[in-house]
Amino acid sequence: MHPLPVIYNKPARLSPNVIALDYCTLHLNGKPDTFLYFYSAGDMIWQAHGFPDNPWVSSSQFKKQLVESDTFSPGTGFSVSYPFKVEKGTSISNMKAVVERPWLWKVSVNGKEVKPTAGQWWLDKRFGVYDISQAVVPGKNILGLSISPMRIFAEIEPVYILGDFSVWPDTSGFFLAPSVRLEYGPWKTQGLPFYADRISYSGTFNLQKKTKNIQIQLKNWNGTVAEVKINGKSAGVIFSPPYVLSLENWCKKGENKVEVIVYGSLKNLLGPFHFVRQRGIVTPWSFKYAPAVQPSGNQYDQLDYGLNEEFVIAAGQE
């Protein structure tokens, strides 16, 4: 087999970028405001409302026992604030926020109430989408959730910001900055540490005649699976060594367009990010503990997804 000349295009992100905000400031009656990990904030909220901890995580519901305890009195409840920083020049025109169970919360950005977009969801039908483009400003921003009275369904979870931006490690967490042109290499070193979707790597090559013995090879890559398209049609997937796929049924004489679409996973988006002892095994306890002080984004546990070298198109003798 000998490699064929390929004209490579720049990689392209196929979905909006995303950041997960997993630390927040808790505002709870009778207690000082505290900036802490979301799970720790949840424990404090449940304890303030008569539970030892989150009842949905640490116990099983007997019949309708938990649902029927949704009888909190007026004056109960809480609010949380998730800070995020936006560097000057970052595109905010299509910026969205995502909040689980949107019907529970009053949601605001920088004190301005925002409403979920009817009929839209992201990742899960219970993840509501909010247009926050008119509320976000350069510098520090606050996404707030509040509920009163308390509800038995009011679990605190990370919230998400979507848009056309890059995400870079800060001394505490991350910050948003203008998007950058992608290259071959790990996604998380190119402003995509939380990105869980697809990156397209494409190019063109020419065949002097229709060739039977032709293949594509991925030499250095990380992802859950890579889909290969030839001239817009799916030619198959690559997911195991030797990372080779035959293209003989898909190529034609003349110019051929090839596209390799690498898929990430929800690990980099949903975590766990902290105190990871063994990758590949995740339980509710995996999300329970995190540093008391939010660490730098460099310390979040995330995988190096991406196509690190240009793919190779090779042909053999007929």
User: Tens digit of pLDDT for each residue in 178-218?
Assistant: 999 999 999 999 999 999 999 999 999 999 887 888 999 99
pLDDT band at 318 (very low <50, low <70, confident <90, very high): low
Question: Do residues 141 and 226 share a domain?
Answer: no
Q: Decide if 269 is inside a domain.
A: yes
CA 95 to chain centre: 14
DSSP 3-state of 135: coil
Please give the pLDDT value at position 245.
97
Question: Do residues 96 and 152 share a domain?
Answer: yes
Residue 186: HSE in the Cβ half-sphere, 13 Å Cα cutoff: 8
Question: Do residues 148 and 198 share a domain?
Answer: no
Residue 117: which CATH number?
Answer: 2.60.120
pLDDT one-digit tens code per residue, 248-270: 999 999 999 999 999 999 999 99
Question: Do residues 158 and 195 share a domain?
Answer: no
* Structural domains in the chain (count): 2
pLDDT one-digit tens code per residue, 106-165: 999 999 999 999 999 999 999 999 999 999 999 999 999 999 999 999 999 999 999 999
For residue 173, the 8-state DSSP code is: B
Residue 118 burial (CB count, 10 A) = 7
pLDDT band at 281 (very low <50, low <70, confident <90, very high): confident
CB 204 within 8 A of CB 7: yes
Q: Decide if 172 is inside a domain.
A: no
Please give the pLDDT value at position 280.
85
Please give the pLDDT value at position 317.
66
Question: Do residues 5 and 64 share a domain?
Answer: no
DSSP 3-state of 286: helix
Q: Decide if 232 is inside a domain.
A: yes
Q: Please name the residues in contact with 245: beta carbons below 8 A apart, sequence gap of 6 or more.
A: 215, 216, 228, 235, 236, 237, 238
Q: Decide if 5 is inside a domain.
A: yes
Residue 78 burial (CB count, 10 A) = 22
Mean pLDDT over residues 91-117, rounded? Answer: 97
Question: Do residues 299 and 197 share a domain?
Answer: yes
Residue 236 reports pLDDT greater than 90: yes
Q: Which residues pair with 124 in a beta bridge?
A: 122
pLDDT higher at 281 or 82:
82
Mean pLDDT over residues 78-102, rounded? Answer: 97
Mean pLDDT over residues 35-61, rounded? Answer: 90
Question: Do residues 22 and 159 share a domain?
Answer: yes
Residue 172 reports pLDDT greater than 80: yes
Distance between CA atoms of 154 and 143, rounded to whole angstroms? Answer: 17
Which residue carries 């402003």 as its tokens? 191
Domain ranges, residue 309: 1-16+187-318
Question: Do residues 115 and 197 share a domain?
Answer: no
How high is the mean pLDDT of the chain?
95
Which residue carries 């009275």 as its tokens? 149
Q: Please name the residues in contact with 66: beta carbons below 8 A apart, sequence gap of 6 or more.
A: 55, 56, 152
Range of weakest confidence among 63-67, 172-176, 203-207? 63-67
Question: Do residues 104 and 239 share a domain?
Answer: no
Question: Do residues 106 and 222 share a domain?
Answer: no
Please give the pLDDT value at position 31.
82
